[in-house]
Chains A and B, each alone.
Chain A
Amino acid sequence: MTALLELTGVGKQFGGLAALNRVSLHINAGEIYGLIGPNGAGKTTLFNVITGLYQLDSGKFHFAGQDYQSTMPHLLAQAGIARTFQNIRLFANLTALENVMIGRHQRTQAGVFGALFLNRATRTEERASADRARELLRYVGITKSSQTLAKNLSYGEQRRLEIARALATEPMLLALDEPAAGMNATETESLKVLLHDIRATGVTVMLIEHDVKLIMGLCDRVAVLDYGRLIAEGVPDEVRQNPAVIAAYLGSDNE
């Protein structure tokens, strides 16, 4: 197995506070990788570092064979990291179809010239882009009209739309920020199926979750953060037995 993403000694400070303290981890190509930890452990910070929302203060960022000094979100997206957001950030006043088509942005080229003159290349690209978008909507299980505004979709559908939008960027790594938050048991179950499906298409999946049980049942490997440090990394069974992990979870509330 080769590492798709490799972080070495990554640090991130806010004010004088170290939110991440020399975190090193790697995510292998083709696996489902889970990131857990008690509240305030630095999960979200790490997630934002991986998706480029935060610039790392120290350490190395290596993705798909390349080192990255500057990690702007759009650069990482173009490199092949797509994400969803914990508190759903769709383009609310655009249609479901448009939302996914925007995900196609970086895989298409039409510029102002194409927009104004609608030449053959642009028309073909637009049609292909819309077709792919509709396909993805079906794939994640959105059955409503693709012309429904994103804000008019149900909560579960919005979460799925975010995944469709992320997949439209053709990522190598799909990063999900608490994808099951607010979902009921059936929805969570079908999410699990969807994530396995996505992995089967060759996309590596990484997720943060509050729900430890979900992570343990879903992931190939799990990392545990506590106070900005990585305290364990490995297959679920191993991590479950790790005394540091048990202490971290018992020390805080029972999550």
Chain B
Amino acid sequence: MEIFLQQIINGLVQGSVYALVALGYTMVYGILGLINFAHGEVVMVGAMLALSALTAMIGWGLSPLLALPLSLILAMAGCMLLGYGIERIAYRPLRHAPRLAPLITAIGVSIVLQNLAMMIWGREYHAFPQLIANQSHHIAGAIINDIQIIIIIMALVIMLALMAVVHRTRLGRAMRAVAENQHAAQLMGVDVNRVISVTFMLGSALAAIAGLMVSVNYGLAHYYMGFLLGLKAFTAAVLGGIGNLRGAMLGGLLLGLIESLGAGYIGDLTGGFMGSQYQDVFAFFVLIAVLVFRPSGLLGERLAERA
């Protein structure tokens, strides 16, 4: 029972991160019908930027309580700029090109970002400085620490805020209009290019937050961390129904739970044949299963008709 509860906690924490990244995929998909392959790398850049900023500020003698939010803001700004740039350079010129074209440029962007990161930050794993006293709490035999609590709460707050932006503001209305019908939105005076840029920037800001969360949680950052994370977050988005914001959140949390429960019990399930090193395999099988049985995802509806 303790193990079960512990896995639930771990799953929720991991799931919150997936959800934040999945939102980035789903927003872009909802508006452009495009899978932004490079999104995972934006998460990585966010983590790396935050790490560098943090190390520098601590070096200047700034208090960790000040340095942490400051470096987060810096990382967000950096990623927003990056997201904007990616869209302008790699996607916008190809908006009316064959489907294959933006997919290929997206792969190109990922490779470039990964290798640039490797040149700048090296191949090694970077330890994330332990900044705040990270107290552990015991609940019915399971352990949850402060950082994990903060991650879950922050993710929830951000998601609520995003929902508010999309459903309550002028910008959100414009986004929904563009998602519904780009041409019509343009005729109604919506600046479609601006909306798309803003969407990319919003998604990238969320990616930066997610990047910082992962690194703080595991105490590590690495130039290759974006790849698997991106793949899993995409799975989460598909699981929830790509293009659907609530779906991305639900899918993220669910995938986190599936992974952590699966990793916890796979040894028992397979009679010791497979161990937790197969954790990364779950996301993939979830993806295949969703695509086979419910390609529109849990909350999605309008995928089939859009051929």
- Chain A interfacial positions (CB closer than 8 Å to B): 14-15, 53-54
Contact = CB atoms under 8 A, between A and B. Distances in A.
Contacts of B305: 14, 54
A54 B306 CA distance: 10
Tell me the interface secondary structure of chain B in the complex: loop
- Give the 4 A-B CB pairs with smallest separation, nearest first: A54-B305, A53-B307, A14-B305, A15-B302
B100 to A, nearest CB: 13
B30 to A, nearest CB: 15
A1 B269 CA distance: 67
Contacts of A15: 302
Interface in B259-307: 302, 305, 307
B91 to A, nearest CB: 22
B181 to A, nearest CB: 12
A53 B302 CA distance: 15
A53 B305 CA distance: 9
B184 to A, nearest CB: 13
Contacts of A14: 305
Nearest to A73: B307
A215 to B, nearest CB: 27
Nearest to A15: B302
A15 B306 CA distance: 13
4 contacts: A14-B305, A15-B302, A53-B307, A54-B305
A54 B302 CA distance: 13
A53 B307 CA distance: 9
Contacts of A53: 307
B187 to A, nearest CB: 14
A15 B302 CA distance: 9
A66 to B, nearest CB: 24
Contacts of B302: 15
A23 B302 CA distance: 24
Nearest to A53: B307
A14 B302 CA distance: 9
B79 to A, nearest CB: 35
A6 B211 CA distance: 58
B105 to A, nearest CB: 19
Contacts of B307: 53
A54 B305 CA distance: 7
Contacts of A54: 305
A53 B304 CA distance: 11
A15 B305 CA distance: 11
